[in-house]
Structure 1
Amino acid sequence: MTEDLPELRASDADRERVSEILRDAVAEGRLAMEEFDERLDAAYKARTYGELERLTADLPVAATAPAPLSLRKESTAPTPWAERIVDGTEGSSAGLACMGGFQRKGRWTIGRRFTAACLMGGGEIDLREARFAGPEIVISCWVLMGGVNIMVPPGVEVEMRGLGLMGGFGSREDGVPGEPGAPRVIIKGLAMMGGVGVERKLPRAERRRMKEEQRRLKEEQRRMKEERRLDGHPRKELG
């Protein structure tokens, strides 16, 4: 079903579906824990169906797995971004760092227009758990001998329009299509003897959940190995 649409954007539900297949595979002994960790991390970072499909191509369940959830016509579930785009809300509009730094992170609301100004200082704009005052956000960065780091969650579209002079203004996330219903973040401005960068990361809660899931699966794999060892060496009956 997905071979004709390898570049179509995957949804959170599609990534979770693949992660379940991987969990089943490691529980059955088809994947080593190290390989499972690598594939699970890649699944949550995947942007397209093609990237997800490669992670389960060598597993038996892939041959009979149903179509990705976001391709099913009968699905009418609301986009997970609906609760995070709050039109009509003002939100935070500026961050200033002069020989110091500023941070915007956690559960906060970024306004439709946000200005980051850094003079010999740095700023951190973390959008992984933020709400958005509109479907399109413009962040203007003005940097002199400093830097601004912007973190976005998977699914958000990023467009870079800034200029770097004796510095850097860019990101490999530039131009990557976003998920349906996800906000669009436009980053513009000037970085002189400094830099503006973007990195894509999972929200902290999701990273913690992944670590806990990995811990649980390692414990389950250890228990299964112990059971197989005992089955191969039955205990002698007393008496």
Structure 2
Amino acid sequence: MTDERPQKPLPELRASDADRERVVERLRDAVAEGRLDMEEFEERLEAAYTSRTYAELEPLTRDLPAPGSTAAPSPVQAGPDGSWPGRIGAGGPPATSATAVAVMSSFQRKGNWTVPARFNAVAFWGSGELDLREADFAEREVVINCVAIMGGIEIKVPPGVEVDVRGIGVMGAFDRREDPGSPVPGGPRVIVTGLAFWGGVEVRVKPPKSAKPPKSQRAEEVERSERSDRAAEPGTSAERSDGGGPNLRKEP
């Protein structure tokens, strides 16, 4: 004899901790992609952790694309150079290794290279330079672990990249002088950690080499005014003879 009782509708089923965590993970991705602002994220996060059934969880992601969906992608805001969406997890040129070591020498990582999820940099009586302005990123969040012993490591990041400096300095310092500005939605997050002993790790914010700020209208006006002033000075073409040379007058 078969059981003819109607099955309980799926939305009425109780949700598990794993179900709630899957929803929370989608909400985190939506924030990183700029689909939700922080206020919306916090509201939905609280609702997700207090939900008891699928019916309560489903509305929290109803207006978000399914994981891995490419049918109707929404615009993702790009970074300062307009290329972040294609530079994170895109599998660009691989780094030669996830470690760089300078012992009484130096190392450089610059240009078009891929920053792995975790990168170790060591400078002992030496120096190192990590330039991330034109780099690709294996993941949205990367960790750069620096050990500078009587040496120095410089890290260059473009504006808009979120930077979290957590290193410890012992008779040394982890220094971030410039303000990277507000993080760009969809951009990478760089965590700088490690130890500086009689050494230093410096994080600098610099625009990409290819990005040249446009000349302001005021600067152009000043430049034109300076050219006009130079043209009116004595000895210029305004006081030259028809032959092209200076129009010199002899004293009587």
TM-score by length of 2: 0.52
1:170 CA displacement: 3.0
Match of 2:194?
189
CA distance in 1, matches of 2:172, 2:157: 22
**Which amino acid is 2:185 matched to?**
P
1:91 CA displacement: 3.5
Match of 1:146?
151
CA distance in 2, matches of 1:87, 1:223: 49
Give the alignment partner of residue 87 of structure 2, picking from 62, 68, 84: 84
> How many residues in Structure 1 have an aligned counterpart in Structure 2?
151
Match of 2:138?
133
Which contiguous aligned blocks of 4+ residues in structure 1 show a shift greater than 6 angstroms?
A: none
CA distance in 2, matches of 1:225, 1:189: 53
TM-score by length of 1: 0.55
CA distance in 1, matches of 2:154, 2:190: 14
In structure 2, the CA distance between the partners of 1:187 and 1:194, relative to structure 1 (3 Å rule), is: same
Cα deviations by residue, 1:150-203 (Å, 9 ceiling, x for unpaired): 000011001011101011123246896511111000011101000011010011
Cα deviations by residue, 1:128-167 (Å, 9 ceiling, x for unpaired): 1111111001000011100110000011001011101011
Match of 2:28?
none
1:218 CA displacement: 3.8
1:117 CA displacement: 0.6
CA distance in 1, matches of 2:158, 2:204: 9
Q: Does 1:205 align with 2:210?
A: yes
1:77 CA displacement: 3.8
Q: Identity of paired residues, percent?
A: 45
Match of 1:105?
110
CA distance in 2, matches of 1:131, 1:171: 22
Any stretches of 5+ residues in structure 1 without a counterpart?
A: 1-75, 231-239
Q: Does 1:170 align with 2:175?
A: yes
8 Å CA contact 1:167–1:191 kept in 2: the answer is yes
**Which amino acid is 1:100 matched to?**
S
8 Å CA contact 1:89–1:111 kept in 2: the answer is no
CA distance in 1, matches of 2:130, 2:104: 17
8 Å CA contact 2:158–2:180 kept in 1: the answer is no
8 Å CA contact 1:158–1:173 kept in 2: the answer is no
8 Å CA contact 2:104–2:124 kept in 1: the answer is yes
Q: Does 1:117 align with 2:115?
A: no
Query: Larger Cα Rg: Structure 1 or Structure 2?
Result: 2
Larger helix percent: 1
Match of 2:224?
222
Cα deviations by residue, 1:57-108 (Å, 9 ceiling, x for unpaired): xxxxxxxxxxxxxxxxxxx643221011125668421211010100111111
8 Å CA contact 2:77–2:184 kept in 1: the answer is no
